[in-house]
Structure 1
Amino acid sequence: MGTTRSGEAVGTAFGEYAVRPVRVGEWAAVKALRLAALRDPVADIAFLDTYEKAVAQPDTHWRERTARAAEGADGMRQFIAGTADGTLVGTVTVLVEEPGTTDLAGFPVERRQGHLVGVFVRPGHRGKGLTEVLFEAALEWAWEVGVERVRLIVHPDNARALGFYRKAGFVESGITLPLAGNPDGHELEMVIER
């Protein structure tokens, strides 16, 4: 992802955007971006969180969450895309899952893997290749920290996301996960191997 200056990772310039790891002090912008994501028309099938729960979180939650993601603490790293004026317009987070632990859904993790979550680009910035650059940064970091594969979970009705993930090289693993609160629903695991 580049070299480091003054403790902050240098990002990748992409047109009018910069794609880089999030910085500790950007918690308010991270919060605003997450709240925008949770208001997206597909948020109910794309995220495990709701706008109501997220907006109720105290600022300390957002400060701590952003600090952990900026430092790569607890095997979590968040990448953001921002405009020249500092507005955050896109994000993806990598969670490193270790063998012998359980994933977000409570299922056992069998090998060291990355898990991409929280994928979002603001509507006015979609279709410009920004999500691809965010994924490149996230995958580069995941491979650097030694994961064997990277996965993500997607709802089968989220056609926009499914199409992008396939284009990015992710394939369905054949594993489906039950939807919380919906015994008849399921989500698909998609993976990419190094």
Structure 2
Amino acid sequence: MTSTSTWSIRPAHPDHPEAVALLRRYFDEMVRRYHGRPCRAGEVESAMADDPSGDLVAPTGLLLLAHRQDAPAGCAGLRLRPGWAELTRVYVEPGHRGRGGGAALLAAVEEHARTLGVDRIRLDTRSDLAEARALYARHGYAEIPAFNDGPYAEHWFEKTLRVDVGPSTR
């Protein structure tokens, strides 16, 4: 478990009730913001089915849940790819935003990635998610050319991680 001031972050299975609730709220916000209107019946479920989170478990990835003041307040996922990892599902509950949750989640994801031997994290995001793009840029993610053709991908980022390999054996 990682703890950053009032934030505690730990891995969870995507089927855990808190994870399910946070992922549902993540998808609800993504659908609402994309369409610029309230979600219609079935849209969130359809989005969740089209882009499932079941692979955010070992050995293919991980899902982290953030708690603030003992309440579930955010999540972030990491999908392991050959030679890199994909950051996904970064979400902080609206009532907890502006209190360091995004930074705490990024730090925890990067710590787990290093532990897994990952030295590069990539992500894609949309133009309407300006706050997310600013968060990534503030934390060392640089915009790069497209590395996928995701239907909602409009911006692509990458961060190279320093991976500690232990004492030198020269």
TM range (shorter): 0.7 to 0.9
Letter in 1 for 2:33: V
C-alpha change, 1:27 and 1:170, in structure 2 (3 Å) is: same
Aligned partner of residue 79 in structure 2, secondary structure: strand
**Corresponding position: 1:193 with 2:136:** no
Q: Give the Cα–Cα distance (whole angstroms) in 2 for the partners of residues 82 and 97 of structure 1.
A: 27
CA–CA separation in structure 2 for the residues paired with 1:139 and 1:55:
25
Residue aligned with 2:135, SS:
helix
TM-score (norm 1): 0.67
Kindly tell me the number of residue pairs found equivalent between the two proteins.
152
Q: Of 40, 51, 58, which residue of structure 1 is paired with 2:44? A: 51
Cα distance change, pair 31–44 in 1 and its aligned pair in 2 (3 A): farther
Is 1:12 aligned to 2:2, yes or no?
A: yes
Matches for 1:12-161 after TM superposition, within 5 Å: 12-22=2-12, 24=13, 27-40=16-29, 41-42=32-33, 50-53=43-46, 65=54, 69=56, 72-85=57-70, 87-98=71-82, 112-161=83-132
RMSD: 2.9
> What amino acid does structure 2 have at the position aligned with 1:151?
R
Deviation at 1:89, TM superposition (A): 1.0
Cα distance in 2 for partners of 1:29, 1:152 equals: 24
Residue type matched to 2:46 in 1? Answer: K
2:75 aligned counterpart, secondary structure: strand
| Partner residue in 1 for 2:164 | none
- Structure 2, gaps ≥5 residues long: 37-42, 162-170
* Fraction of identical pairs, as percent: 25
Deviations 1:142-191 (A, max 9, x none): 122112311000112321111111011100112265452xxxx7522100
Contact 1:113/1:147, CA 8 A, preserved across alignment: yes
Distance (Å, rounded) in 1 between the aligned partners of 2:15 and 2:68: 14
Write 1 or 2 for the structure with the bigger share of strand.
1
Q: Is the 8 A contact 1:93 1:116 kept in 2?
A: yes
2:130 and 2:35 mapped to 1: Cα distance?
Answer: 14
Q: Which amino acid aligns with 1:89?
A: A
Preserved contact between residue 78 and residue 87 of structure 2 (Cα < 8 Å): yes
* 2: CA distance, partners of 1:88 / 1:15: 15
Partner of residue 39, structure 2: none
Distance 1:145 1:43, change over 3 A: farther
TM-score (norm 2): 0.76
The Cα shift of 1:92 comes to 0.4
CA contact (8 A) 1:37 1:43 kept: no
Match of 1:169 among 125, 128, 140: 140
* Distance (whole Å) between structure 1 residues aligned to residue 11 and residue 17 of structure 2: 15
